[in-house]
């Protein structure tokens, strides 16, 4: 649960001109992430650590938000809220794995199974063309500017000249993070059954930090071109 990679769908400032308001694109991009990822995580820790509930009960109750968001997205918008669905999947996997107890090696491998679930979800979302990782970049590449946020949205929706290249980089970015997390999962599971438990107690953290560092470094291969495409689309004559 605590190893979930964090973000959800980006929103735009298209209605700003009509309403006269000036929304903050960065805040708009991070708000769904806070609801879909941070809220369930915070709920889990509060219920388990502060509330004294069992791991199973805390996971079950903290699944309420992503479950509701997933169902409402399907009913109201006829589309899947990917980050809410991802959190729900991770919670359900955690619920299933809570029955794995008593064996230190299995407990270590269990954490790898959770990160593997996240990795597969990221890779699958990239495969179907709706990467859950793309919105994570939105606040950082648009830099809180309305014109850049609008350019971002045109690129995402395929309405810009650079959309095809942008979408290709989207898949590369998601692939980098998904592969890094999947490698961490494999390393943790293999290590859990081949190395001493005392070694894996600290090596697991090293694997996690290494996966995050690898995802960040490899992700730059796609993030840098995406930022250039956003800048180019912002300055394009058609943007006006």
pLDDT digits (tens, 9 = 90+) for 53-86: 877 777 778 778 777 877 777 777 676 666 677 7
Separation between Cα atoms, residue 9 and residue 36, nearest integer Å: 10
Contact of 148 with 227, CB cutoff 8 Å: no
Separation between Cα atoms, residue 109 and residue 24, nearest integer Å: 41
Separation between Cα atoms, residue 147 and residue 230, nearest integer Å: 10
Residue 142 and residue 71 share a domain: no
pLDDT at 239 over 70: no
Residue 79 burial (CB < 10 Å; 0-12/13-18/19+)?
Answer: exposed
Residue 83 and residue 34 share a domain: yes
Separation between Cα atoms, residue 220 and residue 42, nearest integer Å: 29
**Residue 194: what pLDDT?**
92
Name the domain count of the chain: 2
**Residue 103: what pLDDT?**
67
Look at residue 17 and tell me if it is in a domain.
no
Residue 146 and residue 93 share a domain: no
pLDDT at 95 over 50: yes
Output 221-228 pairs: Cβ under 8 A, ≥24 positions apart: 221/172, 221/176, 222/169, 222/170, 222/172, 222/173, 222/176, 223/137, 223/141, 223/169, 223/173, 225/165, 225/169, 226/137, 226/141, 226/166, 226/169, 226/170, 226/173, 227/141
Name the strand (E) or helix (H) holding 4.
none
Task: Read off the tokens for 32.
Answer: 């769904």
Look at residue 240 and tell me if it is in a domain.
no
Contact of 112 with 185, CB cutoff 8 Å: yes
**Residue 183: what pLDDT?**
94
Give residue-wise pLDDT tens across range 143-202.
Answer: 888 899 899 989 988 888 899 999 999 999 999 999 999 999 999 999 988 999 888 878
Which structural domain range is residue 84 located in? 24-99
Residue 195 and residue 141 share a domain: yes
Residue 136 and residue 75 share a domain: no
Give residue-wise pLDDT tens across range 15-55.
Answer: 333 333 444 544 555 566 667 667 777 777 788 777 778 77
Residue 63 and residue 145 share a domain: no
Task: Read off the tokens for 175.
Answer: 């692939």
Look at residue 4 and tell me if it is in a domain.
no
Give residue-wise pLDDT tens across range 202-236.
Answer: 888 899 889 989 998 999 999 999 999 999 999 87
**Residue 225: what pLDDT?**
93
Which conformational region is residue 143 in: left (phi greater than 0), alpha (psi within -120 to 50 degrees), or beta? left
Separation between Cα atoms, residue 220 and residue 180, nearest integer Å: 13
- Tell me which of 46, 76, 99 is where a domain ends: 99
Look at residue 119 and tell me if it is in a domain.
no
**Residue 34: what pLDDT?**
65
Residue 223 and residue 170 share a domain: yes
Residue 226 and residue 156 share a domain: yes
- Tell me which of 77, 99, 121 is where a domain ends: 99
Residue 141 and residue 68 share a domain: no
Residue 137 and residue 94 share a domain: no
Residue 163 and residue 223 share a domain: yes
- Tell me which of 57, 74, 99 is where a domain ends: 99
Look at residue 49 and tell me if it is in a domain.
yes
Check residues 240 and 174 and name the one with the higher pLDDT: 174
Residue 226 and residue 162 share a domain: yes
**Residue 14: what pLDDT?**
34
């Amino acid at each position: 649960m605590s190893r979930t990679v964090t973000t959800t769908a980006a929103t735009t400032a298209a209605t700003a001109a009509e309403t006269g308001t000036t929304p903050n694109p960065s805040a708009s991009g991070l708000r769904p992430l806070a609801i879909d990822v941070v809220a369930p995580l915070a709920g889990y820790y509060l219920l388990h650590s502060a509330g004294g509930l069992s791991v199973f009960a805390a996971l079950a109750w903290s699944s309420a938000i992503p479950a509701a968001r997933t169902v409402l997205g399907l009913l109201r918008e006829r589309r899947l809220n990917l980050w809410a669905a991802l959190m729900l999947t991770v919670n359900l996997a955690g619920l299933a794995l809570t029955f794995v107890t008593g064996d230190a090696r299995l407990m270590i491998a269990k954490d790898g199974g959770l990160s593997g679930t996240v990795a597969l979800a990221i890779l699958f979302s990239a495969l179907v063309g709706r990467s859950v990782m793309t919105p994570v970049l939105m606040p950082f590449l648009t830099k809180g500017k309305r014109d850049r946020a609008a350019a971002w949205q045109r690129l995402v929706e395929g309405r810009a000249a650079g959309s095809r290249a942008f979408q290709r980089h989207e898949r590369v970015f998601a692939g980098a993070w998904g592969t890094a997390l999947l490698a961490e999962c494999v390393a943790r599971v293999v290590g859990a059954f081949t190395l001493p438990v005392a070694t894996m107690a600290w090596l697991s953290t090293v694997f996690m930090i290494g996966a995050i560092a690898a995802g960040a470094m490899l992700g730059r291969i796609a993030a840098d071109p995406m930022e250039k495409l956003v800048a180019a689309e912002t300055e394009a004559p058609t943007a006006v």
